[in-house]
């Protein structure tokens, strides 16, 4: 069934609500990871490395599930899969609250990660296959996260301060249950999607360009994910309480909305290399400051900067990947690299903190951003060469 032609009027509005609900359910764990990490550290009296490995296990299961499930979704009943996966995740969220052993909770979180990973993959497949304008719906997702995060981090900071990991897991459970009825408006099936050829894509770029892009996206998200997930410990080093860190993350999310708007306005008027250089240079400075800082005001300021430049960067990551071919295959693969990077960040950051301390973590992240700049530069240079006869300045693709 080609749902691009069948969604009309109220069906479109309900579809958008349904995929937004699925995106929130599937993305809550990654979005709330700083508070989850802080709650696990406090709740089980763990080191940063131990806690980050527990968080990494869940992220890894989420990302692997999303990657494995993506090609299978057109053969499955999408609505049924999402509802069952959400209920499964909710059950294991509850089990995470009840259990009191660190190892058991880690195992439970892995199973919960499978559930939310399915929902995450299904929501992306629904947007790509059923939305008449996937880019616009992707924009709705970004706006939803920035606005919702304001409330989530405010409330999440309080419940984590009061109840440690049980509080933040309980909040995720309640939100998932609240949004569950919206999933009934998801399509039952999704169809194959063919992208029309565009002057803004390069036809079929060499596979080496796609691989370099995936590696660059993975390294970049791993480094930003490391800083983001360790926001709570970094804030505590700067003298903030868990509640105050929640407020700082709220400010980061709210101000981050400016970054998404800036990317939409700036587009690729001057090519992609300039904006990519801007946000990578900014993150080098942000990483070094956050990991060596002990002043609470400086922490809040640079944490806010990280939100602005991260939301500014995401459209360029997927826009570059989408420019590699006309059918969006590399863009889909970039989504997998994104998830794997976010899954890897906490574990790598925990090891770095344990071995070389927080200043060392800053150097690792700064080096990663510099490496990413080199890789993106190579891709853009070779992409211009391969598409010089058919593409001029391309239009930024969100998603």
CA distances from 135 to 209, 298, 363 (A): 23, 35, 35
Nearest 5°: the CA angle 123, 129, 132 is 105
Comparing C-alpha atoms, which of 311, 337, 318 is closest to residue 394?
318
What are the beta bridge partners of residue 271? 269
Contact 62, 30 (CB under 8 A): yes
Range list for CATH 1.20.1250.20 in the chain: 10-185, 207-386
Phi, psi of 271 (to 5 degrees): 85, -175
What are the beta bridge partners of residue 341? none
What are the beta bridge partners of residue 325? 204
Comparing C-alpha atoms, which of 194, 222, 181, 249 is closest to residue 347?
222
Residues ≥6 apart with Cβ < 8 Å to 232:
34, 35, 37, 38, 41, 242, 245
* Superfamily of structural domain 207-386: MFS general substrate transporter like domains (1.20.1250.20)
Contact 205, 383 (CB under 8 A): yes
For the chain, where are the alpha helices, taking DSSP H only? 10-31, 33-44, 48-69, 78-98, 102-130, 134-179, 207-229, 231-237, 242-266, 273-292, 296-322, 329-386
Nearest 5°: the CA angle 218, 224, 229 is 115
Burial 200-231 (b: 16+ CB within 10 A, else e): bbbeebeeebbebbbebbbbbbbbbbbbbbbb
Instruction: Bin 188: left if φ > 0, else alpha if -120 < ψ < 50, else beta.
Output: alpha
pLDDT at 377: 93
Phi, psi of 269 (to 5 degrees): -60, -30
Contact 113, 59 (CB under 8 A): yes
For domain 10-185, give the CATH number.
1.20.1250.20
> Which one-letter DSSP state was computed for residue 152?
H
The two three-digit tokens of residue 289, written as one number: 């400051």
Residue 271: HSE in the Cβ half-sphere, 13 Å Cα cutoff: 12
The structure's pTM equals 0.70
> Which one-letter DSSP state was computed for residue 47?
-
Comparing C-alpha atoms, which of 110, 114, 108, 136 is closest to residue 26?
114
C-alpha to C-alpha distance for 79 and 231, rounded to whole angstroms: 35
Contact 71, 129 (CB under 8 A): no
> Which one-letter DSSP state was computed for residue 184?
G
Residues ≥6 apart with Cβ < 8 Å to 111:
61, 88, 92
**pLDDT tens per residue across all 399 residues of the chain:** 344 444 445 677 888 889 889 989 988 888 888 888 889 999 998 887 788 777 778 888 887 887 777 777 777 888 999 999 999 999 999 999 999 888 999 999 999 999 998 888 787 777 666 656 555 566 677 677 777 877 888 888 889 989 999 999 999 999 999 999 999 988 887 654 444 444 444 445 577 888 899 899 999 999 999 998 888 889 999 998 888 888 888 788 778 778 877 776 776 667 788 989 999 999 999 999 999 998 999 999 999 999 899 988 887 887 787 677 655 566 667 777 887 888 788 888 888 998 999 999 999 999 999 999 999 999 988 887 765 544 444 444 433
pLDDT at 201: 46
Contact 190, 129 (CB under 8 A): yes
C-alpha to C-alpha distance for 376 and 378, rounded to whole angstroms: 5
C-alpha to C-alpha distance for 141 and 104, rounded to whole angstroms: 33
Q: Is 183 helix (H, G, I), strand (E, B) or coil?
A: helix
Contact 126, 22 (CB under 8 A): yes
Residue in this structure with the two tokens 């899954």, named with its chain if needed: 343
């Amino acid at each position: 069934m080609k749902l691009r032609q069948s969604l009309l009027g109220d069906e479109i509005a309900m579809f958008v609500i349904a995929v937004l609900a699925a995106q929130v359910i599937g993305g809550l764990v990654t979005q709330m990871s700083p508070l989850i990490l802080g709650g696990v550290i406090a709740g089980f009296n763990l080191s940063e490395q131990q806690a980050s490995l527990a968080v990494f296990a869940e992220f890894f299961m989420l990302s692997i599930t999303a990657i494995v499930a993506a090609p299978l979704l057109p053969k499955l009943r999408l609505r049924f899969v999402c509802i069952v996966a959400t209920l499964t995740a909710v059950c294991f969220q509850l089990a995470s609250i009840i259990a009191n052993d660190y190892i058991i909770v880690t195992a439970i979180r892995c199973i919960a990660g499978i559930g939310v990973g399915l929902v995450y993959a299904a929501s992306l497949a629904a947007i790509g296959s059923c939305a008449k304008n996937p880019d616009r719906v992707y924009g709705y997702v970004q706006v939803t996260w920035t606005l919702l995060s304001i409330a989530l981090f405010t409330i999440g900071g309080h419940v984590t301060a009061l109840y440690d990991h049980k509080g933040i897991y309980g909040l995720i459970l309640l939100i998932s249950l609240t949004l569950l009825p919206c999933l009934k408006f998801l399509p039952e099936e999704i169809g194959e999607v063919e992208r029309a050829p565009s002057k803004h894509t390069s036809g079929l770029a060499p596979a080496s360009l796609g691989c370099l892009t995936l590696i660059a996206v993975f390294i970049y998200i791993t480094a930003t994910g490391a800083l983001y997930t360790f926001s709570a410990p970094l804030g505590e080093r700067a003298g903030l309480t868990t509640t105050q860190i929640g407020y700082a993350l709220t400010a980061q999310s709210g101000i981050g909305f400016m970054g998404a708007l800036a990317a939409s306005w700036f587009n690729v008027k001057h090519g992609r290399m300039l904006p990519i250089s801007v946000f990578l240079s900014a993150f080098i400075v942000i990483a070094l400051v956050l990991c060596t800082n002990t002043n609470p005001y400086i922490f809040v300021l640079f944490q806010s900067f990280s939100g602005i430049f991260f939301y500014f960067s995401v459209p360029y990551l997927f826009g570059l990947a989408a420019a590699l071919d006309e059918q969006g295959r590399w863009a889909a693969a970039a989504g997998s690299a994104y998830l794997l990077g976010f899954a890897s960040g906490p574990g790598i950051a925990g090891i770095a903190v344990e071995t070389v301390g927080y200043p060392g973590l800053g150097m690792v992240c700064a080096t990663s951003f510099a490496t990413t700049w080199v890789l993106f530069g190579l891709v853009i240079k070779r992409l211009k060469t391969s598409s010089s006869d058919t593409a001029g300045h391309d239009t930024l693709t969100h998603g």
